[in-house]
Amino acid sequence: MSKGQLSPQRKTLRGPRGQVGYEVWGAGKPPLLLVAGLGSRTTLWGELPRLLSEHFTVLAYDHRGVGRSPGGAPFTLAGSAEDGAAVLAAEGMDSAAVVGVSMGGLVACHLAFRYPSRVRRLVVASSAARLTPHGERVLAFFASIFKLPPEEAGQALMAFAFSPQFTDRFPGFVDTAARLYSLPPEDLPGALAQLAHLRQGWDLRPILGHIRCPALVIAGELDPLVSAAYTKEIADALPNARFRLVPGAAHSVLAEGGSELLQEIIRFCLGQS
């Protein structure tokens, strides 16, 4: 079996909201768009795009204000969905499976709502349907974390990204993730702008009922940042969704779910389940 493309093509486009930096892994296979979380560059995905490129042409883009998507219009969830649609259009892809995690799940839902013909299948992981009082406290915590030196911030986030059991079993993996989560100083203003937008609040429930594509909604049973119950609200509001709870997992549920969950996502995005 192929192990996927070893390195991506790095590209930029000039969209209606400004420059968008993105990566393409593989070619000639069904398209899949990855949408990352708060303050994240494409590098945060680690090995996942390479693994997925065995089965898909994988695209991933930097959110507005970080990485190779500097400046332009202010960050919004709907605006980031517009950036994602622009990436698909630039690559000549009429539609794709879309996988969004954490804040990226919110963006993915906006993409499916605003551009229904672009989203063939939707995967949302570790995302909340709305901003709750608990969520407000989590975002305040991120505002404090972002003030730390990048390496310290990355290490601190690992206490919430992975369950204690996973961290103790795979300390090297978590150390690598901490480095990926470390926010470069040049990305701090953009990440803070994203955070400020989120702190204004959101509620996906009014739009979720209009999203008709098949959806897989995933939550970690022990996620301390986004309660599984709030993620399930997304599944309950989507007309054609299946909810998947990963026992013992925290916020980084795609990693903690291991190969079994990855294969489930692959089958779903290929329309095999």
Report residue 12 as tokens: 């930029």
Query: How much is the pLDDT for 157?
Result: 94
The pLDDT, as a whole number, for residue 273 is 80
In a domain, 245, yes or no: yes
pLDDT at 2 over 60: no
Go through 80-110 and write b for each residue having 16 or more CB atoms within 10 A of its CB, e for each that does not.
bbbbbbbbbebbebebbbbbbbbbbbbbbbb
The reply to whether 14 falls in a domain is yes
The boundaries of the domain holding residue 77 are 9-132+202-270
> What angle separates helix 103-114 from helix 77-90, to the nearest 10 degrees?
70
- Strand partners for 130: 203
Tell me: pLDDT of 5 over 80.
Answer: no
DSSP 8-state assignment for residue 54: T
More confident residue, 1 or 148: 148
Dump pLDDT digits (tens) for 181-212.
888 999 999 999 999 999 999 999 999 999 99
Residue 199: predicted pLDDT = 98
* Measured distance CA(26)–CA(59) in Å, rounded: 9
Using CA atoms, how far apart are residues 69 and 135, in angstroms rounded to an integer? 26
Question: How many domains is the chain partitioned into structurally?
Answer: 1
Encode pLDDT of 15-27 as tens digits. 889 999 999 999 9
Segment 97-150, tens digit of pLDDT: 999 999 999 999 999 999 999 999 999 999 999 999 999 999 999 999 999 998
Which pLDDT score, from 0 to 100, does residue 7 have?
Answer: 86
3-state secondary structure of 16: coil
pLDDT tens digits for range 136-176: 999 999 999 999 998 999 999 999 999 999 999 999 999 99
In a domain, 156, yes or no: no
Say which DSSP state 74 is in: P
Q: Is 260 part of a structural domain of the chain? A: yes
Instruction: Give the model confidence (pLDDT) of 212-260 as tens digits.
Output: 999 999 999 999 999 999 999 999 999 999 999 999 999 999 999 999 9
Taking residues 1-9, report their average pLDDT: 69
What does the pLDDT read at residue 31? Answer: 98
248 CA to centre of own chain = 20
Q: Kindly give the residue spans of alpha helices, DSSP state H, lying in 65-162.
A: 77-90, 103-114, 133-145, 150-161
Phi, psi of 123, rounded to the nearest 5 degrees: -120, 125
Query: Does 1 have pLDDT greater than 60?
Result: no
DSSP code for 130: B
Gyration radius (Cα) of the chain, Å: 17
CATH of the domain at 54: 3.40.50.1820
Cα 198 from Cα 130, distance rounded (Å): 10
pLDDT of residue 6: 73
Is 179 part of any domain?
A: no
pLDDT in tens, 28-84: 999 999 999 999 999 899 999 999 999 999 999 999 999 999 989 999 999 999 999
Does residue 178 belong to any structural domain of this protein?
A: no
Q: Is 140 contained in some domain?
A: no
> 172 lies in a domain?
no
Query: Is the sign of the CA dihedral 70, 72, 76, 81 positive or negative?
Result: negative
